Amino acid sequence: MKITKAVIPAAGLGTRVLPATKAIPKEMFPIVDKPAIQYIVEEAVASGITDILIITNRGKEAIEDHFDRCPELEANLQKHNKNTMLKSIESVSRLANVYFLRQKEAKGLGHAIKCAQSFVGKEPFAVLYGDDVIIGKKPVCRQLIDAFNEYNLCVVGAKQVPREKIVNYGSLKVAPVRDNILKCTDMIEKPSPDKIMSLYSILGRCILVPEIFDILEKTPPGYGGEIQLTDAMKVLAKRDGITVVDFDGKRYDIGNKLGMMQACVELALLHPEIGTEFKEYLLQLNKIM
Ligand code: UTP
């Protein structure tokens, strides 16, 4: 089945990167010359997604402006023949049909996804977390869509995380299927050390079916008093199983300080315009540190 819709939850409060997020949404943090959320939208589009719902909240208007046209700026760039810049800003507003909806209270990721029900309708859909930038040769969202088409089950993108960190993530009960594919039959959000099921954790991408909305409707607040998407997905995992893709790509959690800096440094090194010069700079810096 062709998956053409994606939901990007971006209504979190971003408390781990305060005070930067007091007035600027973390999704708008620049990674070299693009805000983080643009990388995510581009990944969705490169995966065949045509319609994207971004879940926002108060104070995140900058995200809407970023995907809108900007006639004054366009006219100015045109007047001065700054065609490369003009193209770069025009293309952002043409990437996909981008829609916005506000989550009126930050009641958790599960609640944010529930807000997308009428946008999604009756089709399977992709979820790309607004603070997880993932760079892969083949877009990671596409890797998951391919697995959905093959196994006809919900899919999560996952990687193993260090044992000391898994308590801050979700933990999946998994069995190998083949190569980088596993099957998940249970999961737990932020497990205490004695409840760890494996070191595999969902990292920022999944393919869900509309049935998730009925389950979310009945899901009580879980860890941290928030409606957890993991608690709803657990129901499907236990009943039918969920396909796990140990994806091929590098994930940066820009919702934490170190992850954001890693994204900036590594993507600057890959940048066609400044990559070489930036590498020289880092090598020099290394000599004097
Ligand atoms: P996080 O837990 O990483 O985001 O949620 P957060 O709540 O902004 O983080 P901190 O702990 O305060 O720093 C994962 C994803 O779910 C979204 C976030 O925007 C992020 O993309 N989210 C989370 C919502 O859209 N709504 C919520 O109520 C919670």
Query: Which residues have CB under 6 Å of ligand 1?
Result: 9-16, 55, 103, 106-109, 111-112, 129-131, 255
pLDDT of residue 195: 94
Confidence of residue 280 (pLDDT cuts 50, 70, 90): very high
Per-residue pLDDT reduced to its tens digit, 4-26: 999 999 999 999 999 999 999 99
**Helix, coil or strand: residue 205:** strand
Confidence of residue 197 (pLDDT cuts 50, 70, 90): very high
**If you measure from the C-alpha of residue 259 to the centroid of ligand 1, how many angstroms do you get, rounded to a whole number?**
15
pLDDT of residue 91: 86
Per-residue pLDDT reduced to its tens digit, 130-165: 999 999 999 999 999 999 999 999 999 999 999 999
pLDDT of residue 4: 97
Question: Considering only 69-83, 213-227, 245-259, which range has the smallest mean pLDDT?
Answer: 69-83
pLDDT of residue 285: 93
Residue among 128, 131, 203, 228 whose CB has most ligand 1 atoms within 8 A, to mutate: 131
Per-residue pLDDT reduced to its tens digit, 215-247: 999 999 999 899 999 999 999 999 999 999 999
Question: Is residue 240 exposed (0-12), middle (13-18) or buried (19+ Cβ within 10 Å)?
Answer: middle
pLDDT of residue 1: 74
DSSP state of 19: T
Confidence of residue 29 (pLDDT cuts 50, 70, 90): very high
Q: Which CATH class is domain 5-288?
A: alpha beta
Average pLDDT over residues 44-70: 94
Atom number of ligand 1 nearest to Cα 106: 28
- Statement: residue 199 has pLDDT above 90: yes
pLDDT of residue 8: 98
Which residue lies with its CA nearest to atom 15 of ligand 1?
A: 129
> What is the residue extent of each domain of the chain?
5-288
**Helix, coil or strand: residue 16:** helix
Average pLDDT over residues 245-250: 97
**In terms of Cα–Cα distance, which of 40, 238, 195, 69 is closest to 127?**
40
Residue among 52, 100, 101, 109 whose CB has most ligand 1 atoms within 8 A, to mutate: 109
E-only strand ranges, 25-121: 30-31, 34-35, 51-56, 97-102
Whole-angstrom Cα distance, residue 196 to residue 190? 9
List residues bridging with 191 in a β-sheet. none
- Statement: residue 256 has pLDDT above 90: yes
pLDDT of residue 10: 96
Per-residue pLDDT reduced to its tens digit, 105-118: 999 999 999 999 99
